[in-house]
């Protein structure tokens, strides 16, 4: 990159932001791709051809999923894609091993995954069809893509950074292709819908392009249309502004140099689909499980009516079920750690105690969810966010102020101790002691001798990526 101005010329460039999303209804397993099943080859689209060429999944899920997009600016990905013309002096232009396309993540060059090479192949084909001059340069290896990405939050820890990354990549790629596209009606080759592009990069990325609450449909491959969205918004980010989300990143274990998970989501899905008896498999006619379909219907209705208790019940059931599937896979998959499990117990008891304090019955005041990682997503409504955040700080008293990335109303709250109900204070003290024991036994403590959270993020429903 440092010699870019001397060895290449930027012809086009485009950028996009991407944000993560958290699935309330999960998917854990993918349908077969056309190149994996010969009977579907007749339905192949350009994107499916690219999947076959690079031997990667089409990321078509076995069931619908429903998510909420986040909007904290400290949890985002910013991606710029450059289309560059190489000069004769460009390193490697005449080298038979020259691969051309380059990718940089947080200022470090990385190997580009087959998923993203697939997306650039789709774009290369689209550009070549719309601009024969550029197509000739592609054929001569005279132009290449350079992808520059910055991630503003931890990757590969179950915080949906892949969704954020693929949505930013898809947004930038779509904008780049729009700059080159022609109005010539004789050119019939079109680039897939941005949600489909994002899905090809990382399945759940298609939901991050949607405003607010997103539904990603599971569709048999013969019914897929690449020019139509595979994920749609069912309610905007302005529909439920009183819904708050806290994301807790737990401390690293002793001997762990980074927070990265040991088993990727893709590998975990393959293992579970093959071996767990609790996966909701496709029906004989290729459609999703009726259990999942019913939950989608109930959750959609609950979101539209802002029915937090129903949203909480389904969200926690889905999270528990995902990790039950993982624990019954062969070999066993464990994403949760002792912090995760202890905090699950705390939230369950918090809800029970709040029913006593508030004289309600079977009502939920807070909900949790985990993706494929140990870190926790907490959901509540605005009247309870200050109390829950104060409880988190009492449970993890070593958490630094600069580790908390907060929004209204938490970032406006006066710095004074929260006064808890006596019974709740007792519950917090009980779990603070348990977490302290876990911390002392399991974690290195370079920053604090008390349990602390490396990161705490606060969000409300976000607007997705505008393409």
Do 211 and 255 reside in the same domain of the chain? no
149: left (phi over 0), alpha (psi -120 to 50) or beta: beta
Supply angle C-alpha 421, 316, 391, rounded to 5: 25
Residue 281: Cβ within 10 Å count: 13
Q: What is the C-alpha separation between 39 and 36, in angstroms, rounded?
A: 9
Do 229 and 258 reside in the same domain of the chain? no
Concatenated DSSP letters of 394-445? HHSTT--GGGEE--TTGGGS-SS-----HHHHHHHHHHHHHHHHHHHHHB--
Per-residue pLDDT of the chain (467 residues; tens, 9 = 90+): 444 444 678 999 999 999 999 999 999 988 877 545 444 444 445 555 555 554 456 788 999 999 999 999 999 999 999 999 987 655 544 444 345 899 999 999 999 998 899 899 999 999 998 899 999 999 988 999 999 999 988 765 557 688 999 999 999 999 999 999 865 555 666 888 999 999 989 889 999 999 999 999 997 766 667 888 999 999 999 999 999 999 999 987 765 655 567 788 889 999 999 999 999 888 877 788 999 999 999 999 999 999 999 999 999 999 999 999 999 999 999 999 999 999 999 999 999 999 999 999 999 999 999 999 999 999 999 999 999 999 999 999 999 999 999 999 998 765 667 889 999 999 999 999 999 999 988 775 555 678 999 999 999 999 987 65
Contact status, residue 181 vs residue 130, Cβ threshold 8 Å: yes
Q: What is the C-alpha separation between 186 and 425, in angstroms, rounded?
A: 71
Do 159 and 258 reside in the same domain of the chain? no
Domain assignment of residue 467, yes or no: no
Supply angle C-alpha 357, 361, 366, rounded to 5: 70
Domain assignment of residue 73, yes or no: yes
Do 97 and 219 reside in the same domain of the chain? yes
Q: What is the C-alpha separation between 229 and 195, in angstroms, rounded?
A: 6
Domain assignment of residue 202, yes or no: yes
Contact status, residue 145 vs residue 104, Cβ threshold 8 Å: no
**Tens digit of pLDDT for each residue in 69-93?**
999 999 999 999 999 998 765 554 4
Contact status, residue 4 vs residue 84, Cβ threshold 8 Å: yes
Concatenated DSSP letters of 204-264? THHHHTSSSEEEE----GGG--TTS-SEEEEE-TTTTTTEEEEEEEPPPBTT-SS---SS-
Do 262 and 164 reside in the same domain of the chain? no
391: Cα within 13 Å, side-chain hemisphere: 25
Last residue of a domain, one of 235, 252, 283: 235
**Whose CA is closest to 301, among 71, 309, 459, 316?**
309
Contact status, residue 374 vs residue 158, Cβ threshold 8 Å: yes
**Tens digit of pLDDT for each residue in 151-206?**
988 765 557 688 999 999 999 999 999 999 865 555 666 888 999 999 989 889 99
Helix, strand, coil tally for the chain in percent (to 5): 40, 20, 40
Last residue of a domain, one of 204, 235, 266: 235
Cis preceding-peptide flag for 409 (omega within 30 of 0)? yes
Domain assignment of residue 181, yes or no: yes
Last residue of a domain, one of 211, 235, 259: 235
Do 199 and 79 reside in the same domain of the chain? yes
Domain holding 172: CATH number? Answer: 3.30.230.10
Q: Give the tokens for residue 254.
A: 């002793």
Domain assignment of residue 53, yes or no: yes
Helix (H/G/I), strand (E/B), else coil: 144: strand
Residue span of the structural domain in which 101 resides:
4-235
Q: Give the tokens for residue 49.
A: 């051809």
Q: Give the pLDDT of residue 3.
A: 42
Do 142 and 162 reside in the same domain of the chain? yes
Q: What is the C-alpha separation between 338 and 115, in angstroms, rounded?
A: 33
Instruction: Give the C-alpha distances (Å, rounded to integers) separating 39 from 33, 72, 149, 268, 285.
Output: 10, 44, 38, 26, 15
Q: Give the tokens for residue 225.
A: 């249309």
Phi, psi of 14, deg, nearest 5 = -155, 150
Report yes or no on whether pTM surpasses 0.75. yes
The count of domains in the chain is 2
Do 225 and 116 reside in the same domain of the chain? yes
Do 396 and 438 reside in the same domain of the chain? yes
Domain assignment of residue 346, yes or no: yes
């Amino acid at each position: 990159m440092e010699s870019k101005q001397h060895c290449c010329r930027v012809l086009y460039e485009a950028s996009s932001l991407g944000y993560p999303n958290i699935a309330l209804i999960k998917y854990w397993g993918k349908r077969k791709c056309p190149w994996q099943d010969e009977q579907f080859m007749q339905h192949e689209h350009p994107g499916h051809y690219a999947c076959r060429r690079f031997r990667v999944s089409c990321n078509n899920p076995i069931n619908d999923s429903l998510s909420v997009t986040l909007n904290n600016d400290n949890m985002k990905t910013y991606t710029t894609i450059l289309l560059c013309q190489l000069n004769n002096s460009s390193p490697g232009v005449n080298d038979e091993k020259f691969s051309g396309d380059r990718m940089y993540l947080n200022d470090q060059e990385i190997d580009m995954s087959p998923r993203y090479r697939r997306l650039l192949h789709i774009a290369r084909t689209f550009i070549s069809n719309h601009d024969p001059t550029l197509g000739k340069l592609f054929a001569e290896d005279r132009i290449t893509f350079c992808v520059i990405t910055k991630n503003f939050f931890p990757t590969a820890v179950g915080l949906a950074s892949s969704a954020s990354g693929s949505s930013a990549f898809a947004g930038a790629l779509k904008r780049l292709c729009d700059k080159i596209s022609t109005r010539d009606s004789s050119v019939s080759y079109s680039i897939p819908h941005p949600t489909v592009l994002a899905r090809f990069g990382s399945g759940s990325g298609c939901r991050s392009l949607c405003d607010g609450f997103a539904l990603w449909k599971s569709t048999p491959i013969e019914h897929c249309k690449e020019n139509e969205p595979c994920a749609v918004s069912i309610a905007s980010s302005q529909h439920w502004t009183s819904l708050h989300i806290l994301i807790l990143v737990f401390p690293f274990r002793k001997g762990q140099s980074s927070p990265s998970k040991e088993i990727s989501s893709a590998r975990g899905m393959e293992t579970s689909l093959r071996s767990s008896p609790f996966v909701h498999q496709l029906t004989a006619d290729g459609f999703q499980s009726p259990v999942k379909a019913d939950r989608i219907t109930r959750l959609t209705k609950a979101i539209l009516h802002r029915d937090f208790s129903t949203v909480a019940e389904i969200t926690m059931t889905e999270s528990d079920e995902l990790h039950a599937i993982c624990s019954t896979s062969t070999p066993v998959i464990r994403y949760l750690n002792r912090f995760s499990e202890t905090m699950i117990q705390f939230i369950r008891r918090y809800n029970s105690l709040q029913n006593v304090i508030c004289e309600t019955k079977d009502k939920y005041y807070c909900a949790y969810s985990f993706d494929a990682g140990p870190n926790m997503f907490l959901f509540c409504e605005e009247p309870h966010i200050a109390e829950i955040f104060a409880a988190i700080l009492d449970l993890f008293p070593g958490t630094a102020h600069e580790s908390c990335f907060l929004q209204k109303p938490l970032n406006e709250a006066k710095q004074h101790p929260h006064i808890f109900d006596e019974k709740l204070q007792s519950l917090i003290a009980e779990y603070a002691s348990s977490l302290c024991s876990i911390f002392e036994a399991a974690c290195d403590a370079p920053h604090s001798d008390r349990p602390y959270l490396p990161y705490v993020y606060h969000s409300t429903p976000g607007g997705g990526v505008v393409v």
